[in-house]
Chain A
Amino acid sequence: MMLEKLTELLKGLHPEADIENEDGLIDNGILNSFDIVTIIAEVDDMFDVKIPASEIVPENFNSVRALSDLVERISEEF
């Protein structure tokens, strides 16, 4: 469910990219800092989860799977 929603969000930002299979969204320069801010705002809206600044590292945004793991982890931690 979460994975699907996030995939949809990223597809909306970059329709040209192969979001489901891409594992270098940051490393390959697909997502930039503008996208990151949009994603953080949307995730806050959709799941009521605030991604803290300390989690803004390439590993967490390189794939939709990593992003979904991140959101899941944050909602369990403090």
Chain B
Amino acid sequence: MLFTSWSFIFFIILLTCVNYILPVRYRWILFLISSLFFYALSGVAGLIYLSAAALIIWVLALVIEDRRNKGRDELKTVLADASSDEKKAYRQKIKKSIGVVRFAGILMLVALLFVFKYSKSLFPSLFDEGSGDGFLRFAVPMGISFYTLSAIGYLADVSNNKYGAEKNPLKLALYLSFFPALVQGPIARFGELKDTLFEPAPFDGGKVMEAALRIAWGYFKKIIVADRIAAAVAVLQKDPGTYTGMYSFLLIVFYTVQIYADFTGGIDITIGTAKALGVRLAENFDHPFFSRTLDEYWRRWHMSMGSWFRDYVFYPVSASKALLKVAKASRKRLGDGFGRRLPVYISTLLTWALTGIWHGTTVNFLVWGLLNGIFIIIGTEIDPLSRKLHERHEGLRDNTAFRFLQASRTVALTAALRLFDLAPDPMTTVKRFISIFTVSNAGEVLGGGFSALGLSVYDLVIIAAGIAVMFAVSFMNRDMSVYEKLRKRGFIYPVIAFALLIVAVIIFGAYGTGYDASQFIYNQF
């Protein structure tokens, strides 16, 4: 069931009504049933794997907790009078055994993700794709990239004693499968989600109105802007040989607009749907295009993914025995400056390589990830220079033009890097990019090239207007949500805004002949 379908809209309206009839303590059961139903529509086989993943982490987390409790008891009773060295050795032993269980669980989850997501492109000959060559045949289970990360996070957190293990396996299954967040995130942490998910907020008309407005806003971005520009992106993407020069530049711009509208719109629908049910999901974007640096951008775009990789890859790698060894050696040999930065750079690159691989099975995603890491490192290395600049020119930091320049630089850099998404072979992307500076075909593009891409003047006007509205709303949203601002003026204003959005989506939405509301881009990751 696509988010952009009538059946989905009907589904959430029905769910919202049933939800508030039920007593609060039973609502999570409704969420679980509807999530499993939502999931089953995309294939029952996927459901089996999801249940297996839930079962694995449920058992292993309980085993971890049991070991910790037994260890505590032992220290208080049998080892109460032992020497501190003996106690220390015992603690180490328990720690190790918890670590083994955690490692086994994570290995299993990663192995399953690997088999489902990556084996097809790595070993194509094993698969039967109608040719009769291979013997394997399965579809990638929906949302597997997202709930694998959630599951790993849960296991790591329980083993680190951040919270206790969940006793009820069905509640854990709900955490992994909660349908609004299943297909494209945000990747919510169990510790953050459990209270609001298992004991959702009581009915509040204002909140439901806010949720409806948020969902309508998501449709506005997705159906008016993203889907309208999608056809042109597809044409440009398919034929890198023909569409060079100015077309490559257009592809960068169009794809940036598309992915912003598509992904943030999808998350608006996700957060809105959860809110309608009384569940609070954390925000996934914080005005990313206003970021001054690439590092800052990654703290404001797809925040739940960035923070997941920070907490479960970057920090553990940085604090690992191997890296601490490197840290000591490099400080000794390379000194307190670069010698101290090198180990962090190593974990930065490793984290970004994994982030890239997580996004897709082809080598372009790895290149994209590594380049992000490299640019962040370059940013850190030239930091002393920029500090000097700011010392010399005080007030520059808060200068509006300078801030605009910095934000534009970040947008340009991320947009250019994003080009790697669009071709499996990184060399295609490099050639595409270079052609912007070597092929001069601006005259051709402006003299009729747009209609070849399937974009009429009407389309361009709507897209431009859509971008202007998105920018204006984003700007107004900086200090307080637009909903709050409207609500303060009176209850009627959010209602009017909602009606206007719906009318706009109906009139200006991209539904051509044979229109098929397209998937969200992030569903494929």
Contacts and interface: CB of A to CB of B under 8 A. Distances in A.
> Do A and B form a real pair?
yes
Nearest to B345: A34
A78 B318 contact: no
A56 B94 contact: no
Interface of B: 68, 71, 88, 91, 94-95, 98, 156-157, 160-162, 311-312, 315-316, 318-319, 321, 323-324, 327-328, 331, 340-341, 343-344, 347
Contact of A40 (B91, B162, B324, B341): B324
A33 B344 contact: yes
A38 B338 CA distance: 12
Contacts of A44: 324
Given A38-B340, A52-B160, A33 B71 contact: no
28 contacts: A34-B341, A34-B344, A35-B340, A36-B318, A37-B318, A37-B319, A37-B323, A37-B324, A37-B340, A37-B344, A38-B327, A38-B340, A40-B318, A40-B319, A44-B324, A53-B160, A53-B311, A53-B316, A53-B319, A54-B156, A54-B157, A54-B315, A55-B160, A56-B315, A56-B319, A78-B71, A78-B91, A78-B95
Given A37-B344, A53-B311, A54-B315, 17 more contacts: A33-B318, A34-B340, A34-B341, A36-B318, A37-B323, A37-B343, A38-B331, A40-B324, A41-B324, A41-B328, A45-B328, A51-B319, A53-B315, A53-B319, A77-B91, A78-B71, A78-B94
Contacts of B312: 53
Contact of B98 (A35, A40, A41, A78): A78
For the residues of A in contact with B, the DSSP-based class is helix
Interface of A: 33-38, 40-41, 44-45, 50-56, 75, 77-78
A53 B68 CA distance: 18
A76 B341 CA distance: 31
A78 B94 CA distance: 7
* Residue of B68, B71, B319 ringed by the most chain A CB atoms within 10 A: B319
A22 B347 CA distance: 29
A40 B322 CA distance: 13
Contacts of A33: 318, 344
Contacts of A40: 318-319, 324
Nearest to A12: B336
Contacts of B95: 78
Contacts of B341: 34
